[in-house]
Amino acid sequence: MIYNRSKRAQYFAQKRSLEDTAIAEARAAIEAGVADQRQIDYIALRDAEDERIARFLDKKKEKKGFFKSTKEFLTEFLFLGLKKQEYDEPLEKIGQKSSTEEGDIAGQGGDIMKALENKQSGVSEHARKAFANEKERQRTGGPLDRLGTSEGSEDTPPKAGGWTSFITRS
């Protein structure tokens, strides 16, 4: 084994150049029609090896990585009830479709937009109410705050108990 990197690179470069010249000579001999059986077998072997490498690279390109397959799985899971075109197509294209036999899709898109705006306003109103309720709870205090500030909590003697209570009983 060659341990010097530069010598090893030089060795493999020489081997590659010898192989390239042998392939070129064999192909030229086949084209000229003067090739012997050894050259024909060598070229057939090289072509088969090139095809095998090409198939391997194609298969490697087709193979999905972990994150790609996970992304596709999540997309399919989230949009399970929808048709593929419904979630693949951008919203701009959906609104720009021409009229169909049932009626104008653009008009239906307007209804959808109104419904969406109504839903957003309902959500914002709900959030506003929740925010007001939280402000009120902060101002008045929660149940634990009220328990700590009640009048009954001043200087009450603690009840006897614990693991030594059996000794002090009379």
What amino acid is encoded at 72 in this protein?
Answer: E
Question: In this predicted structure, what is the pLDDT of residue 18?
Answer: 94
Question: In this predicted structure, what is the pLDDT of residue 126?
Answer: 86
Question: In this predicted structure, what is the pLDDT of residue 101?
Answer: 46
> Average pLDDT over the chain, rounded to whole?
77
Which of the four pLDDT bands, split at 50, 70 and 90, describes residue 48?
very high
CA distance 137 to 143: 10
pTM value > 0.85? no
Angle between helices 37-62 and 5-32 (to 10 degrees): 120
Ramachandran area for residue 169 (φ above 0: left; ψ -120 to 50: alpha; else beta) = beta
Ramachandran area for residue 118 (φ above 0: left; ψ -120 to 50: alpha; else beta) = alpha
Q: Is the pLDDT of residue 23 over 80?
A: yes
Question: In this predicted structure, what is the pLDDT of residue 12?
Answer: 93
> What average pLDDT score do residues 44-68 get?
83
Which of the four pLDDT bands, split at 50, 70 and 90, describes residue 95?
low
Question: In this predicted structure, what is the pLDDT of residue 51?
Answer: 93
What are the boundaries of each domain within the chain? Answer: 5-62, 65-96, 98-139
pLDDT tens string 119-144: 888 888 888 898 898 888 888 877 77
Question: In this predicted structure, what is the pLDDT of residue 17?
Answer: 95
> What average pLDDT score do residues 74-91 get?
64
Question: In this predicted structure, what is the pLDDT of residue 67?
Answer: 66
CA distance 153 to 123: 42
Cβ contact 11:2 at 8 Å: yes
Give φ, ψ of 162 to 5 degrees: 100, -175
